[in-house]
């Protein structure tokens, strides 16, 4: 069953219900009033840019775009790339592509011109849709990329090197009769986050998308009455697949174009959101604002908020303990996944297992796991090995890269590259990325374990542990520490705190600096290694 059938179903059952809301808190009204002056206002009278559409409008927009694509000869096997910030047009465009049988190719909105061109070529994209924010980047390569593909601009004041999506789709029918689509046909290409090198093109079929929707709905018991607050970028599997749990049951979602603590709490309050997915930095920022007294929980209407969950990265236990002090009635879940496993949910903690915070959880709905050694043999319980997953959401392949595919797909099993162990209760604990393991004096050091420990220090906001070359030990552990705003802390204080760690796990270098994360919240460790390698570390010390 293709995921597009769910859209038709939602139209039949809930056609006039609002399905998507877009909010941009940066665009205040002309009177420049404070947030609190709007407490009694209805959502449609909000002091910021707000749009909404119903399921019927969603479907009509998808159909108009599908008809446009079909009129240009785009259909099964063709690729259509999307380069947009989160907006109300994003998901209808995505589904319009799928309805034609073509393959949707979401692109990271942080890509520069060369990366855009690279990803278009790798995926063999026939069409590129882009928004206002990307005019300059696309214009720089327009002469090259327009030779063999269509360029559609989404927005007002279309540049001369593209065609207007708005004008063109307005002239097409709001109904569409598409081809029959089977579960095993290609549906989407997602790009890896690029934290280990240039992004790979990850191909999934329609079965993967349907499985992701069922997994999310099952894990979080999403109902038609739930309202999902979506903040992360839709080009990534995390945001999209979490939203698909709401999509499956016809629930409403709110696309928030902002990550400030005030914007998140205000949107959750004003739109009466019940499920909110956060990245670690956003949750930390909310807690810091509450700790400082900049925000007060009592200023918002949050009784309906039932679930806060986090994915995309290891979650410090201390963060969740602090969160529950402010929000004691919240359910909590951690979701683990990869773009290669259609995003979140192949492993999840489970809302009922909050006593196991720190673990990534148990196999997700419809998923199997195993942990293996370097010979692909299952290790004993409690031993560290590589986490492998199997299920209907495993990718088809890395598109146009059979060598990389063969490295991670072994039969039906996806080898994740993450080191993990399973405890006596069957819960999986992430130890680290296989490529991030530090080997110091013959000992394996897992950075995540040190990061979890340091994150419990009250003055530390964020931390990343990397390996640096060392003539004697091979590598040593270095901790890049980002302090809470306004905090001061010495190396001696951190070193004393680390006395609780085993000697070989204690960081040998401490660097007080910002911790860079990508748009999905993952620490950019290659960037840190490049910055604080031997030369970079000397430069940093000379500047200090």
Between helix 90-99 and helix 55-71 the angle, nearest 10°, is 50
- Domain range annotation of the chain: 4-326, 437-543
- Over the chain, what is the mean pLDDT? 88
Q: With bands split at pLDDT 50, 70 and 90, how would you rate the model's confidence at 28?
A: low
What percent of the chain shows pLDDT beyond 90? 66
Predicted TM-score (pTM) of this structure? 0.81
The hierarchical CATH code for the domain 437-543 is: 3.30.300.30
How far, CA to CA in Å, does 150 sit from each of 110, 115, 159?
21, 18, 14
413 has pLDDT over 60: yes
What are the tokens at 264?
């998140």
544 has pLDDT over 70: no
Q: With bands split at pLDDT 50, 70 and 90, how would you rate the model's confidence at 452?
A: confident
Across the range 334-346, mean pLDDT stands at 89
CA distance 495 to 479: 11
CA distance 201 to 340: 10
Reference 4, options 122, 75, 92, 79; nearest CA is: 92
Q: Counting beta carbons within 10 angstroms of the beta carbon of residue 486, is it exposed (0 to 12), middle (13 to 18) or buried (19 or more)?
A: exposed
> Given this model, what pLDDT does residue 45 score?
54
44 has pLDDT over 70: no
- Looking at per-residue pLDDT, the higher value among 50 and 314 belongs to 50
- Looking at per-residue pLDDT, the higher value among 525 and 241 belongs to 241
Q: Counting beta carbons within 10 angstroms of the beta carbon of residue 283, is it exposed (0 to 12), middle (13 to 18) or buried (19 or more)?
A: buried
Report pLDDT digits (tens) over 105-155.
Answer: 999 888 889 889 999 999 999 999 999 999 999 999 999 999 989 999 999
Report pLDDT digits (tens) over 457-508.
Answer: 999 999 999 888 876 667 889 999 999 888 999 999 999 999 988 787 899 9
> Given this model, what pLDDT does residue 434 score?
67
Q: What is the DSSP string of 165-206?
A: HHHHHTTS-S--------TTSEEEEEE---TTSSPPEEEEEH
15 has pLDDT over 70: yes
Q: How many CB atoms lie within 10 A of CB 260?
A: 16
> Given this model, what pLDDT does residue 512 score?
95
Reference 313, options 456, 463, 437, 190; nearest CA is: 463
442 has pLDDT over 80: no
Q: How many CB atoms lie within 10 A of CB 490?
A: 10
Fold of 4-326: Rossmann fold (3.40.50)
Backbone angles phi, psi at 474, to 5 degrees: 90, -60
pLDDT-wise least confident of 177-181, 193-197, 348-352, 421-425:
193-197
């Amino acid at each position: 069953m293709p995921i597009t059938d769910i859209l038709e179903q939602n139209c039949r059952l809930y056609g006039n219900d609002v399905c998507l809301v877009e909010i941009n808190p940066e665009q205040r009204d002309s009177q420049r009033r404070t947030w609190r002056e709007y407490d009694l206002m209805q959502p449609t009278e909000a002091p910021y840019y707000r749009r909404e559409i119903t399921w019927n409008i969603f479907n009509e927009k998808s159909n108009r775009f599908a008809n446009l694509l079909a009129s240009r000869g785009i259909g099964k096997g063709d690729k259509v790339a999307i380069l947009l910030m989160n907006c109300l047009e994003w998901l209808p465009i995505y589904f319009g592509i799928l309805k034609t049988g073509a393959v949707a190719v979401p692109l990271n909105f942080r890509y520069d011109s060369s990366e855009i061109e690279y990803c278009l070529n790798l995926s063999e994209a026939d069409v590129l849709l882009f928004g206002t924010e990307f005019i300059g980047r696309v214009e720089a390569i327009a002469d090259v990329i327009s030779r063999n593909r269509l360029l559609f601009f989404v927005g007002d004041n279309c540049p001369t090197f593209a065609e207007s999506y708005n004008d063109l789709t307005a002239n097409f029918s709001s109904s569409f009769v598409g081809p029959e689509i089977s579960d095993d046909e290609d549906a989407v290409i997602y790009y890896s986050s690029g934290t280990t090198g240039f992004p790979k093109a990850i191909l999934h079929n329609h079965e993967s998308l349907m499985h992701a929707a069922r997994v999310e709905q099952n894990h979080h018991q999403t109902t038609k009455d739930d309202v999902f607050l979506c903040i992360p970028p839709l080009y990534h599997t995390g945001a999209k697949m979490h939203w698909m749990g709401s999509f499956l049951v016809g629930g409403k979602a709110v696309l928030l174009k902002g990550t400030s603590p005030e914007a998140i709490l205000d949107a959750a309050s004003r739109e009466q959101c019940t499920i909110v997915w956060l990245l670690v930095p956003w949750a930390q920022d909310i807690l810091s604002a509450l700790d400082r007294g900049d925000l007060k929980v009592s200023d918002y209407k949050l009784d309906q908020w039932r679930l806060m969950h986090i994915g995309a990265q290891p979650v410090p236990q201390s963060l969740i303990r602090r969160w529950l002090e402010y929000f004691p009635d919240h359910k909590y879940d951690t979701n683990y996944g990869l773009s290669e496993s259609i995003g979140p949910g192949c492993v999840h903690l489970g809302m009922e297992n909050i006593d196991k915070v720190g673990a990534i959880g148990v196999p997700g709905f419809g998923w199997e796991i195993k942990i293996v050694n370097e010979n692909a043999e299952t290790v004993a319980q409690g031993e560290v090995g590589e986490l492998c997953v199997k299920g209907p959401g495993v990718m088809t392949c890395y598109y146009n890269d059979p060598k990389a595919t063969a490295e991670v797909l072994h039969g039906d099993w996806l080898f994740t590259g993450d080191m993990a162990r399973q405890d006596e209760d069957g819960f999986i604990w992430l130890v680290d990325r296989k490529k991030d393991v530090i080997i110091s004096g013959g000992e394996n050091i897992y950075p995540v374990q040190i990061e979890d420990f340091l994150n419990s220090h009250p003055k530390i906001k964020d931390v990343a542990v990397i390996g640096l070359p060392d003539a004697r030990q091979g590598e040593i552990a270095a901790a890049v520490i980002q302090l809470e705003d306004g905090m001061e802390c010495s190396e001696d204080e951190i070193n004393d705190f680390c006395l609780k760690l085993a000697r070989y796990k204690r960081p040998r270098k401490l660097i007080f600096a910002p911790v860079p994360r990508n748009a999905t919240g993952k620490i950019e460790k290659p960037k840190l290694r490049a910055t604080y390698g031997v030369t970079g570390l000397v430069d940093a010390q000379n500047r200090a």
